[in-house]
Amino acid sequence: MTWDWSYAVEIVPNLMVGVWYTILVTLASSAIALIGGLLLAILEIASTRLGRTFVRFWLELARGVPILILLYFTFYVLPQLGITIPAIPIGIGVLGVVYAAYCSEVYRGSLITIPTELRDACVALNLSQYVTWQRVLVPLMIKRAVPALLNYVLGLFRETAMLFAIGVPVLMGEAQVAGNESFRFLEPFTLAGIIYMAMNLPFLYLLSRYKDKHA
């Protein structure tokens, strides 16, 4: 099969629609993952033993079940139980919850690296638990976790390709539709791969700049 430039140009607008949905899903899922992961990490560390057990259960569930199974379950099984959710919110929610579990481990690991003397100083200054977390621990946790979190956001961005399995018109989905309609897969998947690589560059640039700044 040879490359057809006229067909490649023809499908670019449809692929751009996929790019828009990919960006939308990535931003929304990342917000859930980053904020949810921070809350889960704090809850696991600061709560009772029962609370920690509950958090660990959900973390292991989110990380242990493949994303595709979670997508299929929420999209196909829940409607049989009377719960119908549109495909886009399902995709955003599943990716956000799964990556919140991964991000929580990053936050928790960054907290471990904070010297215990700093907490002792907060106690000596008679700071409340709320102020200690808000003004001291959480900012340091986030600062130390940024490189790993950017890597997870990059991974989440790539995982959006799986949402085509439930009909979300992400870039991968639009490439698949174009190929199915024309029976030509060389152009749509090649263009999709190039676009994915180009969209990776901002993440890699930010990660490189952060590492250089804090080296």
pLDDT in tens, 138-167: 888 888 888 889 889 989 999 999 999 999
How high is the pLDDT of residue 91? 95
How high is the pLDDT of residue 28? 97
- Fold category of 17-213 in CATH: MetI-like fold (1.10.3720)
pLDDT of 101 higher than 80: yes
- When pLDDT is averaged across residues 96-108 and rounded to a whole number, the result is 91
Cα three-residue angle 44-147-152, rounded to 5 degrees? 65
How high is the pLDDT of residue 214? 59
Give the number of other CB atoms < 10 A from CB of residue 63. 13
pLDDT band at 1 (very low <50, low <70, confident <90, very high): low
Kindly report the average pLDDT of the chain as a whole number. Answer: 88
pLDDT of 215 higher than 60: no
Contact 9, 192 (CB under 8 A): no
Q: What gap in Å lies between CA 185 and CA 176, rounded to an integer?
A: 8
What is the pTM for the complete model shown?
0.88
- When pLDDT is averaged across residues 43-70 and rounded to a whole number, the result is 82
Domain boundaries, the chain: 17-213
pLDDT of 3 higher than 90: no
pLDDT band at 212 (very low <50, low <70, confident <90, very high): low
Cα three-residue angle 149-150-155, rounded to 5 degrees? 95
pLDDT band at 34 (very low <50, low <70, confident <90, very high): very high
For 107, counting Cβ atoms within 10 Å of its Cβ (0-12 exposed, 13-18 middle, 19+ buried), the class is: buried
- When pLDDT is averaged across residues 79-87 and rounded to a whole number, the result is 91
pLDDT of 36 higher than 90: yes
